[in-house]
C-alpha cells in the first residue's frame, strides 16, 4: 500500500518562529489532507489540498502531486500551535486515508 513519511518527527520552536513540515508519499494520490491534533486529542482539519497552494491565516500548504510531496508552512508560531501535525492521503476517491506518523510541534513562550 501507499506509504506516507513525515519530517521532522519532532520540532521545538520559540514563539514567533517560522517552520516547514514535509510530507512525502510513495504513489499518486487524489486526496491529501493536513490535520492538527491538539494536546486534548482533537483532530482539526487544516487543509484539503490534493494539489496546488492554499493559505489560511498564518498557515499555508503546498502540494506538488507530480513529485509526491506536500509542505505545511507555519509562520509566527504561537503556543497554541503545539500538538501533532498529520498528513493523510488516499487514492481512488475514497475516504480510506493513510496517515503519516506525524510531526510533534512544541512552541515555547
Contact residues for other proteins, defined by CB under 8 A? 30-31, 33, 35, 41-45, 48, 86, 88, 90, 92-99, 101-102
Distance in Å, CB of 84 to other proteins, minimum? 10
Identity of the residue, 16 or 48, whose beta carbon is nearer to other proteins in the bound complex: 48
62, 50 contact by CB (below 8 A): no
Nearest distance from C-beta of residue 81 to other proteins, angstroms: 18
Q: Minimum distance between the CB of residue 7 and other proteins, rounded to whole angstroms?
A: 15
- In the bound state with other proteins, the residue whose beta carbon lies nearer, of 14 and 94, is 94
Determine contact, residues 31/93, Cβ cutoff 8 Å: yes
| CB of residue 96 to other proteins, shortest distance in Å | 4
Strand pairing partners for 17? none
Question: CB under 8 Å to 71, separation ≥6 — which residues?
Answer: 20, 21, 22, 23, 61, 62, 63
Site of grid cell 493513510: 98
Amino acid at each position: 500500500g501507499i506509504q506516507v513519511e513525515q519530517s521532522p518527527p519532532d520540532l521545538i520552536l520559540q514563539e514567533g518562529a517560522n517552520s516547514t513540515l514535509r510530507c512525502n508519499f510513495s504513489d499518486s494520490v487524489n486526496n491529501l489532507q493536513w490535520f492538527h491534533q491538539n494536546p486534548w486529542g482533537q483532530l482539526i482539519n487544516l487543509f484539503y489540498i490534493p494539489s496546488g497552494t492554499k493559505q489560511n491565516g498564518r498557515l499555508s500548504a503546498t502540494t506538488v502531486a507530480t513529485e509526491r510531496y506536500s509542505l505545511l508552512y507555519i509562520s509566527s508560531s504561537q503556543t497554541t500551535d503545539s500538538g501533532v501535525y498529520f498528513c493523510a492521503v488516499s487514492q481512488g476517491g475514497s475516504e480510506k486515508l493513510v496517515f503519516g506518523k506525524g510531526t510533534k510541534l512544541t512552541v515555547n513562550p
